[in-house]
Structure 1
Amino acid sequence: MSKLPIDVPKEKLQQVRMDMFRKVQREKRIKKRIFSVAIVSLFCLSFLFSIRVSPTIASQVAKIPGFKEIVLAVVRDKGIKDIVDNGYYEEINTTQSKNGLSLTLQGVIADNSGLVLYYDADATFDMSELYLEEVKLFQGDKEIEGGASFTNHQSNQTRFSSSVDYSYSEPFAYTSKDFKVVFFFYEKDKGNIEITIPFSLQNEIAKEKIITANRIVDVGGQKFTITQIRRSPLRTSIDIELDEANTMQILALDDIAVETENGERREGIKYGLSLGGDNRDGKFTFNLQSNYFHDSDSLKILIGAVHAVPKGEDYIEVDFGTKEVLMKPDYLDWDISVTQQGVSVAAKKWDDRMRHSFLNSAVKADGTTLEYTGSSFSDDEQYLYATEDFENYDGKAKIYINYFFNPIGKNIELNIPLQ
């Protein structure tokens, strides 16, 4: 079997060799083992920034400290690969330690749509009981509003790589390039561990590219409009508005993607894209893998299926005090039970999807929001299981249906000119 072609950046490798030669002259007392690791790390970084990297080499690079998370991101997201290929990924490599926990901020990607931090954690203790409870990001002295998406618990290791993802609903203004990130960990024996890492951005922030589309899509009499497409290095965002005259509540668009003129496909960043029960104002945004660094005259938007249910029948009612389901629509064939501050759903499988958030938006009897706190998922050969958890509350609540498999249209294609 012939080997996959690899585009080796010769000039970068030559520069790496020269840099390392100078480093040897300056640091002759550095132990040989540490020096060897430095060479390997720089060599791997040159591969990471090359145009083509074979999956085999990528898997080996991912094993080296400081590379795992960004390499995995490149493998699963074509937009992140473009960012690395075009030199938009910024290496930070700053370490802070406290109470036996050492945190290294390896790198960052920042644009108007969001900011992603890639970090490594090392510990002198077993981290099976270490939890990341909160992450705060500051621009200068001002905390950036909006929650961060991150994995709060890793398996019982003494080292792991992970990331923190901030997604902004409005274009973010970079009034300063000086930031600090604060990680709040908890470990049963060591208690609270707070680690602060300052960093500064060097890149010019890429400007968002906005295409006005205004394309009306009619699916069985139910209409929605693709108003605009916004492209940034981290994501391609598709803004959608639902027609107020619709008789059905559109819940989800399955397998939405964009395709360039050469047939390259960019899919959703999250598996399964639903409109969300908390967006009943009829305006939604879908975030897809970015094609920011590719210029073309048009884009094709692909939608695998549109799912909808009768308007006004898109919720269930429960009583957390008595743990009862008070009302559910006649069409809803799920088995539903109310648990302690949660609602559990068993839904018959309709495809190979392993998880779906079915109910993640709720309001209390007085009309105020019942805060969503998280979910867990599992499946077997016949059913998908999900438990959606909410804040402590012992009253009645209306919980909106986030996803229900009921396609009213399939395999939709739309050509959008970009000029």
Structure 2
Amino acid sequence: MSKLPIDVPKEKLQQVRMDMFRKVQREKRTKKRIFSVAIVFLLCLSFLFSIRVSPTIAGHVAKIPGFEEIVLAVVRDKGIKDVVDNDYYEEINVTQSKNGLSLTLQGVIADNTGLVLYYDADASFDMSKLHLEEVQLFQGDEEIKGGGSFTSNQSSQTRFSSSVDYSFSEPFTYTSKDFKAVFRFYEKDKGNIEITIPFSLQNEIAKEKIITANRTVDVSGQKFTITQIRRSPLRMAIDIELDEANTMQILALDDFAVEMENGERREGIKYGLSLGGDIRDGKITLNLQSNYFHDSDSLKILIGAVQAVPKGEDFIEVDFGTKEVLTKPDYLDWDISVAQQSVSVAAKKWDDRRAHSFLNSAEKADGTTLIYKSSTFSDDEQYLFETQNFENYDGKAKLYINYFFNPIGENIELNIPLR
């Protein structure tokens, strides 16, 4: 069996050798430990920078401490692979420990649209009941508002690798490159554990590239306009406005993707913020895998299907007090049930999707927001199931439909010049 060709970046590896040597010296390891750690580190880096050769290799490398999360990100997101290939990923390697929990900030990706922290956690105790309650990020002494998305708890017993993703609704200004991240954990026996990790960015922050598109798409008389395309290292943002004169409420643009001149596709971000804004407000942003490091004369926008329902018939009404469905549109063929503070939906499968969020925002009878708490998903051979849980409330409520399979147009292609 022939071996897979692996492109080894010699200059990068030489730098890694020097960095690893200094790191091991600081930690005062034994000579045997120096050799083994260095070899593992070098092999991991060489695979990381040539990850495109084999997802199987990436799977093995992901098991090596310190690289799981960034390697997984490279495999599942072509934009992150570009970030690594173009040396925009910043290695941090700062460790802080408290109450038997050791946290290492492995690296950071930062641009004007967001900031992602990749970290490892090791502990001298069983971490299966350790919960990450909050992560605060500070630029200098000023807290960055909005909060980051992260996984709350882990099934691993003694170590795990994860990330925190900050997405900014407005372009973020880097007034300082000195930051600190404050992680707040809770564990039943140990109580609250707070770990602060300071770090500094070295890279110049990449400037967002903005293309004015203003291309209107007409699908069965329903119109929407792609106003602009904003490209940054972390994501490609497609800004879209819906026509107020539409007679149907557009719910979704399925399988939205961008095809570059070389035929390569950039699809929606599956492990991060994929949608910005509220489609009922008439303006949304779709976040795709970035093509920031690829310059071309044009790109092609692909839309698998446009899903829409009649305006004014895009919601159901329920009574949490009597546990009844009061009204639903005639076209809606879901099996809907109401329990105490939850609404369950069973929808017949239309493709191979294993989960779907069927309901969107909810409001009480007085027009105020009914606060959403959580969702659970499951499926069988014929149906998709979702249960949404809400705050304590025993009155009537209106729940807006987030998704219904009713394509009014399919396989749409649109060429966008970039120059």
TM-score by length of structure 1 reads 0.94
* Corresponding position of 1:216: 216
* Corresponding position of 2:169: 169
SS in 2 for 1:370: coil
SS in 2 for 1:13: helix
Cα drift, residue 396 of structure 1: 2.1
Distance in 2, matches of 1:272 and 1:99, equals 31
* Corresponding position of 2:286: 286
1:222-371 to 2 correspondence within 5 Å? 222-270=222-270, 278-371=278-371
Report if aligned partners of 1:320, 1:340 keep a CA contact under 8 Å in 2.
Answer: yes
* Corresponding position of 2:123: 123
Cα drift, residue 272 of structure 1: 12
* Corresponding position of 2:391: 391
Structure 1 residues 35, 321: CA separation in 2 closer, same or farther (over 3 Å shift)?
farther
SS in 1 for 2:346: strand
SS in 2 for 1:171: coil
Q: Which amino acid counterpart does residue 118 of structure 2 have in structure 1?
A: Y
SS in 2 for 1:296: coil
Structure 1 residues 51, 334: CA separation in 2 closer, same or farther (over 3 Å shift)?
closer
Cα drift, residue 295 of structure 1: 0.6
Distance in 1, matches of 2:370 and 2:122, equals 37
* Corresponding position of 2:202: 202
Q: Which amino acid counterpart does residue 301 of structure 2 have in structure 1?
A: I
Distance in 1, matches of 2:29 and 2:227, equals 62
Distance in 2, matches of 1:224 and 1:4, equals 46
Cα drift, residue 358 of structure 1: 1.1
Of stretches 151-160 and 8-17 in structure 1, the one that deviates more from structure 2 is 8-17
Cα drift, residue 361 of structure 1: 1.1
Distance in 2, matches of 1:23 and 1:134, equals 30
Cα drift, residue 17 of structure 1: 4.1
* Corresponding position of 1:104: 104
Of stretches 257-266 and 158-167 in structure 1, the one that deviates more from structure 2 is 158-167
Of stretches 403-412 and 322-331 in structure 1, the one that deviates more from structure 2 is 322-331
Distance in 1, matches of 2:223 and 2:394, equals 39
Q: Which amino acid counterpart does residue 384 of structure 1 have in structure 2?
A: L
Distance in 2, matches of 1:23 and 1:66, equals 14
Cα drift, residue 270 of structure 1: 2.6
**Which blocks of at least 5 consecutive residues in structure 2 are unaligned?**
none
1:398-413 to 2 correspondence within 5 Å? 398-413=398-413
Structure 1 residues 64, 176: CA separation in 2 closer, same or farther (over 3 Å shift)?
same
Of stretches 284-293 and 30-39 in structure 1, the one that deviates more from structure 2 is 30-39
Distance in 1, matches of 2:22 and 2:280, equals 61
Q: Which amino acid counterpart does residue 139 of structure 1 have in structure 2?
A: Q
Distance in 2, matches of 1:126 and 1:371, equals 34
Cα drift, residue 393 of structure 1: 2.6
SS in 1 for 2:205: coil
Aligned residues: 419
1:145-160 to 2 correspondence within 5 Å? 145-160=145-160
* Corresponding position of 1:44: 44
SS in 2 for 1:411: strand
Distance in 1, matches of 2:353 and 2:48, equals 31
SS in 2 for 1:4: coil
State the Cα RMSD in Å: 2.3
Q: Which amino acid counterpart does residue 96 of structure 1 have in structure 2?
A: Q
Structure 1 residues 274, 137: CA separation in 2 closer, same or farther (over 3 Å shift)?
closer
Report if aligned partners of 1:234, 1:290 keep a CA contact under 8 Å in 2.
Answer: yes
**Which blocks of at least 5 consecutive residues in structure 1 are unaligned?**
none
* Corresponding position of 1:380: 380
SS in 1 for 2:269: coil
Distance in 2, matches of 1:370 and 1:20, equals 53
Structure 1 residues 122, 27: CA separation in 2 closer, same or farther (over 3 Å shift)?
closer
Report if aligned partners of 2:165, 2:272 keep a CA contact under 8 Å in 1.
Answer: no
Structure 1 residues 14, 129: CA separation in 2 closer, same or farther (over 3 Å shift)?
closer
SS in 2 for 1:295: coil
Cα drift, residue 71 of structure 1: 0.3
Distance in 2, matches of 1:147 and 1:88, equals 23
Distance in 2, matches of 1:285 and 1:243, equals 15
Report if aligned partners of 2:132, 2:185 keep a CA contact under 8 Å in 1.
Answer: yes
Distance in 1, matches of 2:154 and 2:68, equals 15
Cα drift, residue 374 of structure 1: 2.3
Q: Which amino acid counterpart does residue 288 of structure 1 have in structure 2?
A: L
Q: Which amino acid counterpart does residue 178 of structure 2 have in structure 1?
A: D
Report if aligned partners of 2:319, 2:394 keep a CA contact under 8 Å in 1.
Answer: yes
Of stretches 225-234 and 149-158 in structure 1, the one that deviates more from structure 2 is 149-158
Distance in 1, matches of 2:371 and 2:18, equals 56
* Corresponding position of 1:71: 71
Cα drift, residue 154 of structure 1: 1.3
Distance in 2, matches of 1:107 and 1:285, equals 27
SS in 2 for 1:150: coil
SS in 1 for 2:40: helix
Report if aligned partners of 1:258, 1:267 keep a CA contact under 8 Å in 2.
Answer: yes
* Corresponding position of 2:191: 191
Of stretches 48-57 and 367-376 in structure 1, the one that deviates more from structure 2 is 48-57
Cα drift, residue 404 of structure 1: 0.7
Distance in 2, matches of 1:78 and 1:363, equals 38
Distance in 2, matches of 1:162 and 1:109, equals 14
Distance in 1, matches of 2:342 and 2:262, equals 47
Structure 1 residues 139, 38: CA separation in 2 closer, same or farther (over 3 Å shift)?
same
* Corresponding position of 2:142: 142
SS in 2 for 1:280: helix
Report if aligned partners of 2:167, 2:273 keep a CA contact under 8 Å in 1.
Answer: no
SS in 1 for 2:116: strand
